[in-house]
Amino acid sequence: MSEFKSPRKWLGNIDADGASRLISATADVALVVDGKGVIRDVSCGSEDLAKLINGDWVGLPWSQTVTSDSRPKIEAMLRDAGGSVPARWRQVNHPAGEGTLPIVYSAVEVGPDGRIVAVGRDLRGVSVLQQRLIEAEQAIERDHHRLRHAETRYRLLFQISSEAVLVVDAANQRIVEANPVSAELLGSATRKLIGRAFPDNFDAGSTRAIQAMLATARSSGVGEDVRVRPEQGEGEFLVSASLFRQEDKAYFLVRLKRVDTEVGATMVPKLRSRVLDVIEKSPDALVVTDTQGHVLSANHAFLDFTQVATEEQVRGESLDRWLGRPGVDMDVLIANLRQHGTVRLFATTLRTEFGSSSDVEISAVSVPNGDPPCLGFTIRSALRRPAGETRAARELPRSVEQLTELVGRVSLKDLVRETTDVIEKLCIEAALELTHDNRVSAAEMLGLSRQSLYVKLRRFGLVDGSSGKHDAN
């Protein structure tokens, strides 16, 4: 602390008003305290402080305006105010509404009768910053713990995985990480694999195949299995890769399988392989989903239908995303599959990623005993089916023709009512046919409540004694 060198020369003629203005300008709060420690006057540098204090301190002992834990500090400032040692700043807390008002004071004796001037600075802004700093530090610490636990789990899974896995830097194709299974499979210690170029120690044809597979993974995100041979030794490997990004860098997650030791687990029988080839090249879209309708696999025809580039983009998405009536068609299909096991020629529309749509027919089957249970959907364009076949040669009732003959004979109001009844009956019959007489699903498809559908069924004479068994899913 440095004091003025010539205060009497330059400040000696300052009167009480000047001193008051000087103290008020330099302090958020200024107190005049008599020799007994009683506050005689208060100055506030801002209106919000003045509202908090509200002039209630005048006439009270200074120690009674603070919280109990701050009273020893007030007594120490009163005791040390007249000493030769420079005044020490001390923080005290004043009760203020539901909280406290933190102020740091420095007290100086200014008169022969023990009068003291206490100059205070408002610390509320500093307290807010300190609280934010503490909260930020706690958030960083929580994030650090989560990341550390996630890394621990990743390390554990990586080490105990029964599949050989390599992490390869996509920029220079050098191995960044390798688990023990991959080291055993490649015949080298884990520490020796780190930093080695990939592919390495494969024959020339295998190296080219791996490079082509990595190029595919770099462009599309996934590289399918390729069969390769080591440069030395016997046996074959299946190598595949997936691209992922971390901290603005790209990496390959490379998986390796030894073919000769896992023939039963990895090689598909020839007959089943032919079936899979037929499915993949089928002109009809074929989709396999889980029991909730999320896509597990799809062939190229479905990707063409939806105008999606790769299978990875549809995998995990709900098939409902592309069907014509979101929240209705998929629910109806799943409800009927659970009840009947199959659905044939369900008419709807299929949307593409770019908003266009086309009429399609869907046949579906449920495989409840699969591993895991799944649903299979065949989607076929309805444009290739003659219009007369799609509705099984259904024709409009003759009442429509009769209605047109009534034009001019009856009022438009009665004609519209009769026409509406005919169309409404046709729509209800179509919904019941599509849902195999499942009234709950039909009501959802038509946007009606179950009670409203029952009223219309009775009105149009569509209720029979046996159809009630399909009232519930």
Query: What are the extents of the domains in the chain?
Result: 7-122, 161-266, 270-394, 395-473
pLDDT of residue 53: 74
**Over 80: is that where the pLDDT of 327 sits?**
no
Q: From CA 338, how far away is CA 342, in angstroms rounded?
A: 8
pLDDT digits (tens, 9 = 90+) for 87-133: 788 889 888 877 788 889 988 888 778 888 888 888 888 878 888 89
Amino acid 199: pLDDT: 83
Q: What is the pLDDT of residue 1?
A: 53
Mean pLDDT computed over every residue of the chain? 80
CATH fold for domain 7-122: Beta-Lactamase (3.30.450)
**Residue 140 pLDDT:** 92
Kindly write down the DSSP assignment for every residue of 101-144, as one continuous string. EEEEEEEEE-STT--EEEEEEE-HHHHHHHHHHHHHHHHHHHHH
- 161-266 maps to CATH 3.30.450.20: yes
User: What is the third-level CATH fold of 270-394?
Assistant: Beta-Lactamase (3.30.450)
Res. 405: pLDDT tops 60: no
CATH code for the part of the protein at 395-473: 1.10.10
Neighbouring residues of 23: CB distance < 8 A, sequence distance ≥ 6: 30, 43, 117, 119
- Tokens 């007030």 belong to residue: 74
- Residue for token digits 């996934």? 222
Fold match between 7-122 and 395-473?
A: no
**pLDDT (0 to 100) of residue 389:** 45
What percentage of the chain's residues is helix, strand, coil (to nearest 5)? 45, 25, 30
